[in-house]
Chain A
């Protein structure tokens, strides 16, 4: 017994020595890590892997369907559930009563009639482009000041919690969103100028009267939906360990957990999904999207999204089955989404990418976009348990400054706070979704613009990037594109 322990200690010491020394040797060799203190350099080298989703949930397909791949080696039972969930994800829901009762129930008010309509190929949405007259994969959350009984946003008394821009026949749509973009110029330290576009919003064709002066709104594009089974399996305690709500360590970065209403637990629990970490579980996130975005009720959210003031909507919602999506279907689509694999990182050995990677750590981007997480052992999918993964997020809320603020609190999240979004797969959005619009509202037209919008707790990181010369900026973008 004692002998064993000594042996273990020996191994531990040896490992520690290797972890500390090897990277240092590497540093001396390459000279690349010169600007990085040794702890960070070691972290960087340890995180330099293509296995973004861990050993068993990483996909190596980099085509237009890169985000639509299941984890490898599904057995036939799971393949069948996956395929069916995929079918539900692509289903274009129709108005009830339809010829197929299991797949009807659209609306009465809704944004799109399918999941895949916004999350095309399981990917990322965007704001309208010139020529498009409506928002195809972006929506507006609504509320008024105050809190609902569960501590969440107080829904708008007439329009509810979301601006639904479509209605079924006989139910007026809530209206249209008009976005005006204003260019604002800035300069890098080397004198190169850049331009960012700031959105402003106007709501027209209002179906239910004025929105009022008090209305709070939050524009959000649909995020990519892979890797969520892994994120759900990161132990809450590990995430909380990274939190520093009062910035005790004085680095200017807080990191606060959100706690949101959990329908199954009937209490507030840790929130990890959504732009403001306002959804506690993947299943509830999906039920919420069904309810708000497509107008479908589920066992988890059984009430329609019509407000009490919307009589036509209320009446139309009584048609068809009481529940539009059965418990079985909700479970299957949840399994489908959780089984979507994470695309592997590309060009890990590229010198430009490695130069950018170093800048990423140097600029303290890695403080919030935490490169590495470990999963726990709570998943029903064995492939998701006890994995080292590289999502580049801490799943915590950060004050991102006034420029990005939506000024709409969402449970614990203030009007300036957003959840750090994962960066894995971000370089593939152009391939999967034919665009490169980033941030919660898609205002950034490329990765560098997304970085330049950072403020608040990320002000220093942004300033760091603004000081970079053109080759370093290209290197940083090359690194991000490799994720």
Chain B
């Protein structure tokens, strides 16, 4: 075991030195002699992999906690606005509920940078089969007809099936059982209940508040359903917050106690995977390639654009170690001591992503409706390239810090 670690450290030092040598030769004007520089960097790299990773990971854990905490707080705010809507359903309270959903999404989207390493959000306990709540919180695409009526099928969905008991247990029992797309819970279920299907070329779904007036049709079932899935969302986010809260006997305690090389590898795998797979491929390229106007992540509310913006922000947060008021240790600080050139490249790539994602025109379904080769589509293509570039650089960052990371796809 010690031999293996030694090899990995030594190997990483060589890689770092080699990549720097490459940079050096590209910059002929550099006044520093390559050999001396390499020796210094190699030594720093070894140091960085030892003691220096721990403070970053401590800080990362705090950042995760703070982000989940604000996501939970925002979800509770959404819950109270939904309660107010159900207490007195009209156009105003309905609009407030939709605004609260859109607002609450923003902090959650930033937590997606904590997925893909079987942490609290998406762990699987092989002994019990228990899984983290990701599938319950954010599953997509969803088969809306499984939940409620859709165009051309008025009696569709479990809301309109009187033999189905509307209870949390029954809803969860039916979540993605006979079909992966038969999603019953989470953000997109709430979104569908608030907005309805989007057949509106110029805007989001047009469900009326009248669907929630008590005592009519299956409205009471729909009301209960909305209430229950919102409560479940708050519960799941509370679970995540608890798993990451400081000074507790929880996942965070284990996380910071693990070998820092392995843990940092997970963090970088998470960033690279969210960037290249989840964002670039699953949520952008697939939508472009299908030519389906509603083949987008938040299709009912037409808020897919903000999904991209806040996912990208989540990646930046982890790299710079900051979230809202919390100013923690960043990977940039760590890398600056080891490979400043790479750090600058990484920062430039993150900036590039922020810029290109910001240029994607909203609503996103209008991009999808545009003709092949359109300017709107070209902007999304360049965002895809930025996301792929930054993911590949994340792997370089991992190598420079002597850890292993990869781009997953699932």
Contact = CB atoms under 8 A, between A and B. Distances in A.
A241 interface: no
A390 interface: no
B179 A114 contact: yes
A121 interface: yes
Given A69-B410, A84-B285, A100-B292, A76 B388 contact: yes
Nearest to B177: A434
A100 B143 contact: no
Given A76-B388, A83-B285, A87-B290, A63 B407 contact: no
Interface in A89-118: 90, 92, 99-100, 102-103, 112, 114, 116-117
Interface residues of B, number: 33
Interface of chain B, main secondary structure? loop
Interface residues of A, number: 38
A90 B142 CA distance: 10
B367 to A, nearest CB: 15
A82 B295 CA distance: 16
A65 interface: yes
Nearest to B131: A64
A336 to B, nearest CB: 11
Nearest to B278: A83
Contacts of A65: 410
Given A100-B292, A102-B291, A80 B285 contact: yes
Nearest to A95: B152
B285 A102 contact: no
Contact of A116 (B152, B177, B181): B181
Given A79-B281, A102-B291, A117-B178, A70 B126 contact: no
B118 interface: yes
Contact of A61 (B181, B407, B410): B410
B357 interface: no
B291 A114 contact: no
Contacts of A478: none
A431 interface: yes
Looking at B141, B292, B294, which has the most chain A CB atoms within 10 Å of its CB?
B292
A72 interface: yes
Nearest to A103: B292
A22 interface: no
A100 B141 CA distance: 16
A98 to B, nearest CB: 10
A371 to B, nearest CB: 24
A73 interface: yes
B56 interface: no
B290 A84 contact: yes
B180 A120 contact: yes
B286 interface: yes
Contacts of A62: 124, 126
Given A68-B410, A116-B181, A83 B281 contact: yes
Contact of B409 (A70, A132, A430): A70
Contact of A64 (B124, B285, B291, B293): B124
A298 B193 CA distance: 36
Given A114-B179, A116-B180, A116-B181, A84 B126 contact: no
A136 interface: yes
Nearest to B152: A169
B259 to A, nearest CB: 18
A90 B180 contact: yes
B277 A92 contact: no
Nearest to B122: A63
Interface in B290-332: 290-295
B270 to A, nearest CB: 15
B177 to A, nearest CB: 7
A204 B96 CA distance: 51
A258 B61 CA distance: 58
A74 interface: yes
Contacts of B276: 76, 79
Interface in A113-159: 114, 116-117, 120-121, 132, 136-137
A347 B5 CA distance: 25
A83 B286 contact: yes
Interface of B: 118, 124, 126, 129, 131, 141, 143, 152, 177-181, 199, 276-277, 280-282, 285-286, 289-295, 388, 406-407, 409-410
18 contacts: A62-B124, A62-B126, A65-B410, A68-B410, A69-B409, A72-B406, A79-B276, A83-B285, A92-B143, A99-B199, A100-B290, A102-B291, A103-B290, A114-B181, A117-B178, A120-B180, A136-B178, A430-B129
Given A100-B293, A103-B295, A114-B181, 20 more contacts: A62-B124, A70-B409, A73-B406, A76-B276, A80-B280, A83-B282, A83-B409, A87-B286, A92-B143, A99-B199, A99-B294, A100-B290, A100-B291, A102-B292, A120-B179, A132-B178, A136-B178, A137-B178, A430-B129, A431-B129
Interface of A: 61-65, 68-70, 72-74, 76, 79-80, 82-84, 86-87, 90, 92, 99-100, 102-103, 112, 114, 116-117, 120-121, 132, 136-137, 169, 430-431, 434
